[in-house]
A = this chain, B = another copy of it.
Amino acid sequence: MRKIGKQEIEDMAVGAALLGTGGGGDPYIGKLMALQAIEEYGEVTLLEVDEVPDDALVVPSSMMGAPTVMLEKAPSGEEAISAFKQLEEYLGKKIFGTFPIEAGGVNSMLPFALAARLGLPVIDVDGMGRAFPELQMVTFYLDGISATPAIIADEKGNTALLSTIDNVWTERIARAATIQMGGSVMNAMYSMNGKNLKDSGITNILKLEEEIGKSIRLAKENNVNPIEKVLKTVGGFELFKGKVSDINRKTETGFARGVATFEGLYENKGETLQLRFQNEHLIAQTENRLLCVTPDLIAVLDAETGLPITTEGIRYGARCVVIGIPCHPKWRTEKGIATVGPKYFGYEVDYVPVEDLAKKGVTL
């Protein structure tokens, strides 16, 4: 148990941007909401999962929809509270604590904003170890934990309580309702007990986020190479050094889809990297080498500062280092690959772990 204040939030937000692998929403607005709530209501208690009783009711707090919409219709915080209160009433039990459904992006920050307001602890665990775009893409789904009863709430006061036959149906119905409700909503879903959370969640992920942010911050202060520090912190691999030579984005079926092209520099001179994304970076390959593929994490870092760059932030001419990070082992199971592997996203390649690709290289 420890207290989370403003510096921890600042560091975590950097780590959340990196684990967001280009998507998951820029944590910026989530960070602002968390900082404001801590300013107003005080620091938040962070618990390790072992500190949660097995029979405690725990519920992640998250937003669904386009994070860009949140910038235009900023959540008041009331909708998240309303969703939690309605779920407590439905289940007839008090919620013990909250946690991020995904560590990557804006959703890693929102639980702090809610927790500060409600006086709840945040638990150091998530259901992805990164960011993914659909709500069945969580380790809880792999372990058979139901997303429902699921409550979605908008800032106007509309709510929907869903009860579905599986989590893919929750995704479908909630997604359609979200679009009607203005494009972004707050969720209370995947309620579970402490035992399930310990068995199924990805633990110490907020600590990892904080360490990522801290290592980049301290590298800058100490004038050392931040990228080496980051790679050591996350156990990742440098995939490519290059300069953005082309960026092609379009928004379709609710996704920011596109390709960023990097012209190689230094040891990659003469090569070209193509990075394909659908909100998150999903596949990185050169003309003849596959470098990294979902569910392993692909992050683009600024070559100077080491700071992570989202797909929206990729600019022509920027010098970047593309890194790959092994995903959590739960994603490397058969059900994991079926849920978030390259074929689910429409890429006709087989999943190969990034450590194999980085060591041996795979010729396409």
Residues of A in contact with B (beta carbons under 8 Å apart):
86, 156-165, 169, 172-173, 175-177, 179-181
Contacts and interface: CB of A to CB of B under 8 A. Distances in A.
A156 B165 CA distance: 7
A105 to B, nearest CB: 25
A301 to B, nearest CB: 38
Nearest to A170: B158
A173 B156 contact: no
6 contacts: A157-B165, A158-B162, A158-B163, A172-B180, A173-B181, A176-B176
Contacts of A173: 158, 160, 177, 180-181
Contact of A169 (B86, B158, B169, B176): B158
Contacts of A157: 164-165
B158 A160 contact: no
Contacts of A162: 158-161
A151 to B, nearest CB: 9
Contacts of A158: 162-165, 169, 173
Contact of A177 (B156, B159, B176): B176
A298 to B, nearest CB: 31
A158 B181 CA distance: 20
Residue with the highest number of chain B CB atoms closer than 10 Å, among A86, A160, A177, A181: A160
Q: What are the 5 closest A-B residue pairs judged by CB atoms, nearest first? A: A176-B176, A161-B161, A158-B164, A176-B180, A157-B165
A277 B172 CA distance: 31
Nearest to A82: B163
A180 B164 CA distance: 12
Residue with the highest number of chain B CB atoms closer than 10 Å, among A163, A165, A169, A173: A173
Nearest to A181: B173
Contacts of A163: 86, 158-161
A160 B163 CA distance: 6
Contact of A160 (B160, B165, B175, B179): B160
Contacts of A86: 163
Contact of A176 (B156, B159, B165, B179): B179
Nearest to A175: B180
A177 B177 CA distance: 6
Contacts of A179: 176
A148 to B, nearest CB: 9
A160 B172 CA distance: 12
Contacts of A164: 157-159
A179 B179 CA distance: 13
Given A160-B177, A173-B177, A173-B180, 12 more contacts: A158-B162, A159-B162, A159-B163, A160-B160, A160-B161, A160-B163, A161-B161, A161-B162, A175-B180, A176-B176, A176-B179, A176-B180
Nearest to A150: B160
Contacts of A177: 160, 173, 176-177
